[in-house]
């Protein structure tokens, strides 16, 4: 099939590359000329395991191309994916200006029947707005061209997006016509050779499914983080509690690890957008509001532990930070807990020496830009030299089995704040560390 993917951000690029991998002819479109030129040169704007190699492979084969000319790409396509950003507005709602701008372009450019797919995470009712925007442009042209708008929410995990796309646990499609549904079923058939995980539904239910899924996962995280706060106060150990409840098959172990709070491009934005939608329709989403409030507070837990140990005035103190990205296997720092932790320490006079395998550039150029009390190093041990304590924020694999003797040699004080509860308290004390965890007194 000939496919256009409008938007070469995280979702758009991964989707386009994976569709090309299955033999489709895919054109990725973006208004950012610099980004498109870099993609043509094999320079990938994001870090995602396997994405660079697969992009280069399909670009060389000719199944994948990049352009800024949306009209040309759309004129030759049977399916157009809208995969542009939906940033959070000041009131928490999803900003649809980019989605509707693409819809307008599609209406100006389409020459034959098309399936237009909302791949961006959008509120319930967006498909109707996209359909109206396209139809308005066709009316201006005096054209009567049939089209269908479909909702196909993405469920990609950053750090495992290629695997998730090639081997999906479900493909959710919301459509009004059997014709559009059949086309989408054919498009995704190569991804389901062994198991049919195609879930067909109405458009609004598909739009809602994405928000409900992310809200549920965020709820599990905030619930466990709230339990960790109770555990600390009553003298229980959240790690043991997690084992105790996770063994229940109705609960399971996924997303019940205590930590510094969730971040990234999805959970914070989607929880707030869903809450805003609920309020717009006259419902007070008490659970969603609580999930967001708990997460906000959780991002301050680790910095508060440091302040409780070293005092409010941190002048002359230096802290090593391991991990900047909001999760491992990505360079994404959007809404990352590390930002809050580092800013809370540096505004009290501390210096921070940070290490992350992939996210240092993002920190320097965007999220911690201008904070001259933060420096960056190229290895985890280099960050420890002369530091008063270590703060582990992101659970990258290379932090799982460090050399504790080497750490003690490099640190001024053998003080370790573990924001991901990676080690057993008894083991760390035996190794001579003053060791702080979340949810453990």
Catalytically active residues, by annotation: 266
DSSP 46-99: S--TTHHHHHHHHHHHTSEEEES-HHHHHHT-SEEEE-----B-TTS-B--HHH
DSSP 127-170: HHHHHHHHHHHHHHHT----EEEEE----PPTTSHHHHHHS-S-
Output phi, psi for 220, to 5 deg. -60, -40
CA neighbor of 260 nearest in space, from 334, 341, 314: 341
CA neighbor of 362 nearest in space, from 396, 339, 405, 333: 333
212-218 CB contacts, 8 Å cutoff, 24+ apart? 212/274, 213/155, 214/266, 214/267, 214/270, 214/271, 215/270, 215/271, 215/274, 215/288, 215/291, 217/255, 217/267, 218/262, 218/267, 218/270, 218/271, 218/291, 218/295
CA 158 to chain centre: 6
Instruction: Tell me if 418 sits within 8 A of 392, measured CB to CB.
Output: yes
Task: Give the helix, strand, coil percentages of the chain, each rounded to 5.
Answer: 45, 15, 40
Pairing of strands 171-174, 64-67: unpaired
Distance in angstroms (rounded) separating the CA atoms of residues 84 and 392? 33
């Amino acid at each position: 099939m000939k496919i256009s993917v409008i938007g070469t951000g995280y979702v758009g690029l991964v989707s386009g590359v994976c569709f090309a991998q299955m033999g489709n002819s895919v054109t990725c479109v973006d208004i950012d000329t610099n980004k498109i030129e870099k993609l043509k040169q094999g320079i990938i704007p994001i870090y995602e395991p396997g994405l660079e190699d697969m992009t280069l492979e399909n670009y060389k084969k000719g199944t994948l191309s990049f352009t800024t000319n949306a009209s040309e790409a759309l004129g030759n396509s049977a399916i157009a994916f809208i995969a542009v950003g939906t940033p959070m507005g000041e009131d928490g709602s999803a900003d649809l200006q980019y989605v509707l701008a693409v819809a307008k372009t599609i209406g100006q450019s389409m020459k034959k029947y098309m399936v237009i797919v909302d791949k961006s995470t959008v509120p319930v009712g967006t498909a109707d707005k996209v359909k109206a925007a396209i139809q308005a442009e066709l009316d201006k042209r005096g054209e009567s061209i049939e089209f269908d708008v479909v909702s196909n929410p993405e469920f990609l995990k950053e750090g495992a997006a290629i695997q998730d796309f090639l081997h999906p646990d479900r493909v959710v499609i919301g459509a009004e016509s059997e014709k559009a549904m059949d086309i989408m079923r054919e498009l995704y058939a190569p991804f389901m050779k062994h198991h049919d995980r195609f879930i067909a539904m109405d458009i609004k239910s598909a739009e809602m499914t994405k928000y409900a899924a992310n809200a549920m996962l965020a709820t599990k995280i905030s619930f466990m983080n709230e339990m960790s706060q109770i555990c600390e106060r009553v003298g229980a150990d959240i790690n043991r509690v997690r084992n105790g409840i996770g063994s229940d098959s109705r609960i399971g172990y996924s997303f019940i690890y205590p930590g510094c709070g969730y971040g990234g491009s999805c959970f914070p934005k989607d929880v707030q957008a869903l809450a805003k939608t609920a309020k717009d329709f006259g419902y007070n989403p008490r659970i969603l509001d609580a999930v967001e409030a708990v997460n906000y507070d959780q991002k301050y837990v680790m910095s508060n532990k440091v302040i409780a140990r070293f005092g409010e005035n941190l002048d002359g103190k230096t802290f090593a930070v391991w991990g900047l990205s909001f999760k491992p296997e990505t360079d994404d720092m959007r809404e990352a807990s590390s930002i809050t932790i580092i800013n809370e320490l540096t505004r009290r006079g501390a210096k921070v020496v940070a290490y992350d395998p992939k996210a240092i550039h993002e920190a320097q150029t965007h999220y911690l830009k201008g904070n001259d009390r933060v420096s960056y190093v190229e290895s985890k041990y280099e960050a420890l030299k002369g530091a008063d304590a270590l703060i582990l924020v992101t659970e990258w694999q290379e932090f799982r089995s460090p050399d504790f003797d080497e750490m003690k040699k490099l640190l001024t004080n053998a003080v370790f704040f573990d924001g991901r509860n990676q080690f057993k308290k008894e083991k760390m004390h035996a190794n001579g560390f003053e060791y702080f965890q979340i949810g453990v007194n």
